Amino acid sequence: MKRKLRNGIREAFEPPKSPGKEAFLRNIWQPTLDYRGFLLSQLHYIRKRVWILSFLFVMYSLLFLLKQTEGSCSYESVWIIGAMLPFLALTAVSETIKSGWWGMQELELSCRYSLNQVIFARLLFIGSGNLITLTVILVLTEKTLSAGFFRTGLYLLTPYLLTCALCLILSGRVRGREGRYGYAVTAAGVSAANSLLRYLEHSVYQPDYLIFWLFSVGISAGIIVYRLHCMKKEMEARSWNLYLAE
């Protein structure tokens, strides 16, 4: 579309100046919290232990990998670090859905920025934090292996995503604080399975098994996306129900 015509249309629709605009906007009450402010406010509600744990994971990986000499550790570092990651996922999931544990869901659903947005704001921050942690761990781990970033990434992502997926499935089944124990058992189970797998099948980190890792990551990621979608829909429906009950 020609700029001249667009400007012509703009000019044609331009109304006369509104004389009361300045005074009206000066005197009108406006909500003080905008969307950026809301997002930043959510950062304060994420408990410090989440960041501390991420930092400790990175430090532990660094110290562990520094002790290994190149080639000596082979795939040991992958499964040991991989066995830790379910607990990182556990902190992420439990921090995201903590409103339900404390019986605050209804209250948060009825606010201007509803629980839906609160959860997705927290996911944004925790997810970004975990992404940085995983990237640092991946870079550190990859240095001791000759598997390349892609394969090492798959080996590390699998236990993390699997824990997230299983915890999110569990969050839909078990409501309230009882869920905490379930999440903890899930994280411990995935961690133990990751360790067991290494002992039961020594060649599990060989390229022949790549399809298994790819499949696990794909399925886990799919479940996470599906569960988040379900949670969003469920909360939308609940907030409408609350609105109708006002």
Partner 1 sequence: MAEDIEKQYDKIYRYCYFKVKNASVAEDLTQETFLKFLQQNSYRECGKKMEYLYTIARNLCIDSLRTRKELPLEEEVAGKSPMENVELNLSVRQALSMLKEEEQELLLFRYVNDMPVGKIAEFTNQSRFAVYRKTKEALGKLKKQ
Q: Which residues form the interface with partner 1 (CB under 8 A)?
A: 1, 4-16, 18-21, 24-25, 28-32, 34-35, 38, 112-114, 117, 239, 243
Would you give the end-to-end CA distance of the chain in angstroms?
Answer: 48
Between 148-173 and 115-142, two packed helices, what is the crossing angle to 10 degrees? 150
Other Cβ atoms less than 10 A from the Cβ of 25: the count is 9
Q: Which of 105, 194 has the CB closer to partner 1? A: 105
Q: Which of 29, 199 has the CB closer to partner 1? A: 29
Q: Which of 61, 239 has the CB closer to partner 1? A: 239
Q: Which of 124, 131 has the CB closer to partner 1? A: 124
Alpha-carbon span 93 to 90, nearest angstrom: 5
Q: How far is the CB of 14 from partner 1 (least distance, A)?
A: 7
Q: How far is the CB of 145 from partner 1 (least distance, A)?
A: 44
What the block records as the tokens of 150 is: 């892609």
Q: Which of 24, 226 has the CB closer to partner 1? A: 24
Nearest Cα to 187, choosing from 155, 204, 165, 212?
Answer: 165
Q: How far is the CB of 122 from partner 1 (least distance, A)?
A: 16
Half-sphere exposure in the Cβ direction for 164 (13 Å, CA): 28
Q: How far is the CB of 4 from partner 1 (least distance, A)?
A: 7
Q: Which of 15, 71 has the CB closer to partner 1? A: 15
28 phi and psi angles, rounded to 5 deg: -70, 140
Q: How far is the CB of 24 from partner 1 (least distance, A)?
A: 5
Nearest Cα to 190, choosing from 100, 37, 56, 87?
Answer: 87
Would you call 100 helix, strand, or coil by DSSP? Answer: helix
Q: How far is the CB of 21 from partner 1 (least distance, A)?
A: 6
For 101-139, b/e burial (b = at least 16 CB within 10 A) is: eeeebeebbeeebbbbbbbbbbbebbeebbeebbeebbe
Q: Which of 211, 245 has the CB closer to partner 1? A: 245
Alpha-carbon span 166 to 223, nearest angstrom: 8
Q: How far is the CB of 230 from partner 1 (least distance, A)?
A: 18
